Amino acid sequence: MLKIAVLNQKGGSGKTTLSVNLARALQLAGHTVQLVDSDPQGSARDWAEAGGVELMEVIGLDRKNLLSTLEQKKGGDGFIVIDGCPQASDMAVAAIRAADLVLIPVQPSPYDIWAAAELVDLVKTRQEVTDGRPAAAFVVSRAIKSTKLAGEVAEALHEYGLPTLTAGTTQRVVYASTAGEGKTVFEEPHSGAAQAEIRAIAAEAMALLEGL
């Protein structure tokens, strides 16, 4: 199974929102998907308890055996989406080591850009000893529509030496409202724009994985 880790050591980056909705997009595209919550705060597990468990399997793995547990899931088709912990801790290192692709959601804020530095270093250190794996990219999240901030952030992130996806998420109430109900934007019939955002992210993620 291919493993996508969604990581950012800064809280409030939109990490769990991206993890849950990306996992659902992959599932709706016909793939087998497991969502792994490796965050001790248990945000994805809270989502599952609110109803998300009816949509997909959510596994809580906030222990140091994260890597060994995921290594046992090498075989088979489908995806494992890892909702990472918000610190550059042992759990984050384990997620990077297990992942085929690391997505780093970053809000259009200088604080988020600065906070990404340590995580980028961890990813690059891993890539240096594994022939460029995992693939990694930034995802601009919660951008405000009709502003240039998202583009400016992408330019700033370019200095880190990792690509930034063309697709990203914007500030939309539907992301929070569906999460509170244990759903995703795909269960809200009037959220076509948000659904398109997530599908575009999923398509770019698939392209990166195909390039490995």
For 58, the domain range is 2-210
Q: What is the pLDDT of residue 1?
A: 86
Q: Kindly give the parts of the chain with pLDDT less than 70.
A: 62-76, 87-88, 146-151
Distance CA(184)–CA(20), nearest Å, equals 7
Number of domains in the chain: 1
Pull the structure tokens for residue 77: 């088709």
Q: Which residue type, as a one-letter code, is found at position 129?
A: V
What's the pLDDT tens digit per position in 143-165?
877 566 556 777 788 889 999 99
Backbone torsion region of residue 117, taken as left when φ is above 0, otherwise alpha when ψ lies between -120 and 50, otherwise beta = alpha
> What is this structure's pTM?
0.92
pLDDT at 211: 79
User: Across the chain, what does the average pLDDT equal?
Assistant: 87
Task: Please give the structure tokens belonging to residue 133.
Answer: 């794996």
By the 8 A CB rule, do 57 and 74 touch? no
- CATH number of 25's domain: 3.40.50.300
Strand order in the sheet with 135-140: 57-60, 33-37, 79-83, 2-6, 101-106, 135-140
Tell me, what amino acid is at 65?
N
pLDDT at 148 (0 to 100): 61
Residue type, 16: T
| The predicted structure's pLDDT at residue 138 | 94
What per-residue confidence (pLDDT) applies to 84?
A: 86
